[in-house]
Amino acid sequence: MNSLRSWAQQIQHVCNESGKHLKQSASMRSLQRVSALQKQLGKQPKVPKPVTIVLTSLVLSAALGQRFYDQPRLSIGKIAPETITAPRDAQVENKQATEEKRRAARSISTPVWMPDVALSDEIRKTVQSHLDAGLKLRKDAGEFPYVELEKLSEPTQRYLRKAEVWEWKAILEATQAPNTQLVDRISDPVQRRAATELFRNKNQTTLDGLSGLEAKITTAQQHYVTARSQLSAPYDPTLFDVSDVAWQKMQGEVMATLDRMLMQGIAPGLEETYVRNAITLNLQIATPPETRAIATQILVSALKPNLVKDEDRTRQQAELAANNVELVMVNAYRGRAIVQQGEEITQDAFILLDYFKLSRRETNWWGLVALFGCVSGSVVIFWRLEQRYHPKGLRNRDYWLVGLMCLSTPLFILVNVPSTNLPAIGVLMGTFYGSVLAVTGVGLLTIILPIAMGLTWTQWLPSAIAGLTVALFAARVRSREELAFLGLGVGVTQGLLFLLLGALSGVAWYSLLGGAVLEGLLGLGWSIIAIGISPYLEHLFDVVTTLRLVELANPNRALLKRLAAETPGTFQHTLFVANLAEAAARKLGCNVELVRAGTLYHDIGKMHDPLGFIENQMGGVNKHDLIDDPWQSAAIIKKHVTEGLVMARRARLPKVVQAFIPEHQGTMTIAYFHHQALQRAQQDQTIIVNDEDFRYDGPAPQSRETGLLMLADSCEAALRSLKDATPDDALNMINKILAARWKDGQLSESGLTRSEMSAIAEVFVQVWQQSNHQRIAYPKAK
């Protein structure tokens, strides 16, 4: 190998000396071959996939299997192989039992209630509005009694006011007879008593005799009917039977009872029966019996729970109750047995064994082997999905990044972070590699973590579900703002899941509020961390995300601003090519953002010599006419590729964006200057034309996106030259250009198919029609 490399270096030295003259094409061809040979020699062989999978599984298993390194042989539930005695007296806390007692104390702690002042005022306003409405209804019903009691008794007046029409007519007919014969025939005693009292007033000679009574009764009946039609809850017709004195007293008692009950407070969830009984007991003291039912109905309809939970004081009281719990201690006495031979090891016994270092801790190799198998299966699943959804495969640096993200999870768990960083991994993997790999990675970690590290559900389940959620949606965001809102959603989701799962497990929800808030903040914090480190990881591992491509396509980027200022013709050419390529990419389902960004930078190398390209000459003298050397002109044209790569590296553009610079020209021939060289060779037989001197170095397009750029770049000038052509003419011309590129083999490695050429041509014609639309010819001013 060393001799071969030495030979290659010698050949390169000779070719460098002989390549000073551009016309010595044979030496240039040797130089290119040597350069390719050196690249081949410099390539490092890839590690086979099985070896990579095994090494990755070993590393992940070693990091995740912390619980298997120091695992006790004598653990809870195992049978003691022998009797083990305590070497000395000791008193050890049973932390798990103590925490369970504290949790129980928090859950049964009585909540602290406080009156809601605003709600109490609202209830008072409601009761007062009911009383005002009742007073208005009583006024609409008219005064009572409406006739002197000497003429008609109160029961009779009450009856006649609400009597039906037929009843009133029957009474009047009975009173029209000359004697009480018809009155005595009335069967209803109340109706007969009313008729008797009216008949008694029949022979009065005053103007206010029977006819006057009839008018007053009729008026009272009309007022009563009108008022009764307006009745609504909480009132019924008994409202009109209450005397004014009783009504006035009832209003005062209702407000006094209301104030007492509001001060005592009504807790949420209290049944209406208990509220009604409390109202009845309060009203029995001073409220008249005739108004008690009305007062009860008014209060029942308005009263509602006015106590709200004081979360801070409730939490303080719960924590106080938890802190007052006595520690659960396990006692050991020297020489006494901790566990007898053949007995099952209890939790108390294990605490003592572990305290005295008698639990025989050691590495659980079988557990590690099982974990290795589980991790290996997960790695294989991830790799298979990567092959399915990323046919060209991830790069080695991508594998390193995914591995580091997976290794970060056990690292944070070891430093006792309350929650796993699965939301951060979901954000990063979703934006870097898409939803499928992100959901797969987070999902596999979710399954392995509780097995490998023995986590409780509060440590991993809320963050795992939040991580899966953000992994599913992160690939769809198109701006940092959307990603920030997604991070906020992660925090809310993680907090609510913690609260819901805790409540389902039987813990009082108010004792979970602090933990839920902490979980929400942790979820939001992980998202913020992921968003913050994302740009650094993108540059360090050369990862291209949709957000980064959108930012690179911003015309205010320094390199694009220079392109527009220094090479305005090239910039306009670039914009039109970008429109063509982007439309075709959208039609074929390619990465539109990548095509847009790559196209905008594909000709930045022309800034090294703007006047060397005709679109920037603005009708001036053509520089190549002054040079009058097709070999030198071809070198200037080719140099825009190499210079473009240099500029792209200085600007730290992603490799996939840099690939658009050489691949958009592929290995095509610079036809114009090649033809000039052939003409000179015909005139001068001593001139030898080497086609390689007039051919781009390539490579040919290696992806569908760069292939679309080559086709769009090839068709752009031809489409601009069309003025009065029909769409069919444009389509025929584009098809010829695409066929030429296909026959030349430029698209053989791009992944584009022959059947897609027709769709590409149609899209190019549509974009050309949109930019070449007809305009109305305005009349010239005189």
Tell me the per-residue pLDDT of 459-471, one tens digit each, with 9 for 90 and over.
Answer: 788 889 999 999 9
Within a 13 Å sphere around the CA of 234, how many CA atoms are in the beta-carbon half? Answer: 20
Return d(Cα 696, Cα 708) in angstroms, integer.
Answer: 18
Tell me, what's the pLDDT at 711?
94
- Average pLDDT, integer, range 137-145: 87
Backbone φ and ψ of 115, nearest 5°: -70, 140
- What was the pLDDT predicted at 17? 39
| Residue 589 DSSP class | T
pLDDT at 568: 92
Distance of CA 550 to the CA centre of its chain: 21
pLDDT of residue 18: 36
In the 8-state DSSP scheme, what is residue 666?
A: T
> Which of 486-490, 510-514, 596-600 has maximum average pLDDT?
596-600
Q: How far is CA 19 from CA 35, 418, 634, 680, in A?
A: 13, 66, 15, 21
pLDDT at residue 203, rounded to an integer = 61
Give me the mean pLDDT over the 179-205 stretch.
78
Which DSSP state fits 164? -
Residue written as token pair 């013709």: 569
- Share the mean pLDDT of the chain: 83
pLDDT tens per residue across span 596-615: 999 999 999 999 988 888 88
**If you write DSSP's letter for every residue of 319-359 in order, what string do you get?**
HHHHHTSPP-EEEE-BTSEEE-TTPBP-HHHHHHHHHTT-S
Q: What is the pLDDT of residue 612?
A: 83
Q: What share of the chain is helix, strand, coil (3-state, %, to 5)?
A: 70, 5, 30
State residue 209's pLDDT score: 56
Average pLDDT rounded to a whole number, residues 712-718? 88
Select from 454, 357, 364 the least CA-distant residue to 68.
364
Helix/strand/coil (H/E/C) assignment for every residue in 215-235: HHHHHHHHHHHHHHHCCCCCC
Give CA–CA dist 49/51, Å, rounded. Answer: 5
Please report which confidence band the pLDDT of residue 475 belongs to, taking 50, 70 and 90 as the band edges: confident
In three-state secondary structure terms, 92 is: strand
- Closest by CA to 86, choosing from 410, 358, 431, is 358
471 vs 349: CA distance, rounded Å: 44
Q: Is 515 exposed, middle or buried (0-12, 13-18, 19+ CB in 10 A)?
A: middle
**Under a CB-based contact definition with an 8 Å cutoff, are residues 372 and 58 in contact?**
yes
The pLDDT assigned to 508 comes to: 61
pLDDT, residue 776, reads 52
Residue range 114-129: mean pLDDT, rounded: 91
pLDDT tops 50 at residue 29 = no
Is the pTM higher than 0.95? no
Task: Please answer whether residues 661 and 601 qualify as being in contact, where contact means their C-beta atoms are separated by less than 8 angstroms.
Answer: yes
CA distance 672 to 591: 33
pLDDT at position 773 is 57
CA nearest to 372, candidates 72, 56, 70: 56
Q: Distance from CA of residue 473 to its chain's centroid?
A: 7
Q: Comparing 354-358, 380-384, 550-554, which segment has the lowest mean pLDDT?
A: 354-358
Angle at 600 between CA 758 and CA 658, to 5 degrees: 95
The DSSP call for residue 124 is H
Question: What is the tens place of the pLDDT at every residue in 103-121?
Answer: 888 777 778 888 888 899 9
Least confident interval from 79-88, 209-218, 249-258, 345-354: 209-218
Looking at residue 442, its pLDDT comes to 93
Rounded to whole angstroms, the Cα distance separating 480 from 548 reads 10
Query: What pLDDT shows up at residue 726?
Result: 85
pLDDT confidence tier of residue 10, bands split at 50, 70 and 90: very low
Of 207-211, 301-305, 316-320, 362-366, the poorest mean pLDDT is in 207-211
Lookup: tokens for 634 = 């071809």
The rounded distance, in Å, linking the Cα atoms of 376 and 64 is: 13
The pLDDT score that the predictor gives to residue 506 is 66
Which 8-state DSSP code applies to residue 695? B
Which of 196-210, 312-326, 400-414, 512-526 is predicted with the least confidence, judged by mean pLDDT? Answer: 196-210
Give Cα 565 to chain centroid, integer Å: 41
* pLDDT for residue 596: 95
pLDDT digit string (tens) for 678-714? 888 888 888 888 888 889 988 999 999 999 999 999 8
pLDDT at 362: 81
Residue 721 carries which side chain, given as an amino acid letter? Answer: S
**In the predicted model, is pLDDT for residue 512 greater than 60?**
yes
Average pLDDT over residues 625-637: 87
C-beta atoms surrounding 25 within 10 Å: 18
Please tell me whether residue 89 adopts helix, strand or coil conformation: coil
Residue 171, pLDDT score:
84
Query: What are the angstrom distances between the C-alpha of 314 and each of 252, 264, 485, 508?
Result: 36, 19, 32, 11
pLDDT band at 19 (very low <50, low <70, confident <90, very high): very low
Closest CA to 257 of 131, 139, 117, 118: 131
Structure tokens, 534: 């994302």
pLDDT higher than threshold 60 for residue 762: yes
Flag the least confident range among 118-127, 228-237, 371-380, 621-630: 621-630
Rg of the chain on CA atoms, in Å: 47
Residue 293 contacts residue 239 (beta carbons within 8 Å) = no
pLDDT value at position 693?
Answer: 86
Residue 126 class from Cβ within 10 Å (0-12 exposed, 13-18 middle, 19+ buried)?
A: middle
Count of all residues that appear for the chain in the document: 782
Q: How many CB atoms lie within 10 A of CB 40?
A: 9
Full DSSP string of 269-303: T--HHHHHHHHHHHHTTTS-HHHHHHHHHHHHHH-
- Residues pairing with 583 in the sheet: none
**Encoded tokens for 192:** 């007969």
Beta-bridge partners for 308 = 114
- Name beta bridge partners: 331: 91
Q: Tokens representing 353?
A: 């064994």
Please give the biggest Cα pair distance in the chain. Answer: 158
87 to 91, 93, 358, 463: CA distances (angstroms): 13, 18, 10, 44
Lowest-confidence region among 10-19, 289-298, 520-529, 624-633: 10-19
Digit-coded pLDDT (tens) for 563-577: 999 999 999 999 999
Distances (CA, A) of 772 to 338, 569, 576, 684, 692: 93, 18, 12, 45, 37
Residues 6+ apart with CB under 8 A from 469: 426, 489, 490, 493
Q: Quick one: average pLDDT of 87-101? A: 88
Percent of the chain at pLDDT above 70?
Answer: 91
Lowest model confidence (mean pLDDT) among 86-90, 184-188, 263-267, 329-333: 184-188
* pLDDT over threshold 90, residue 55: no
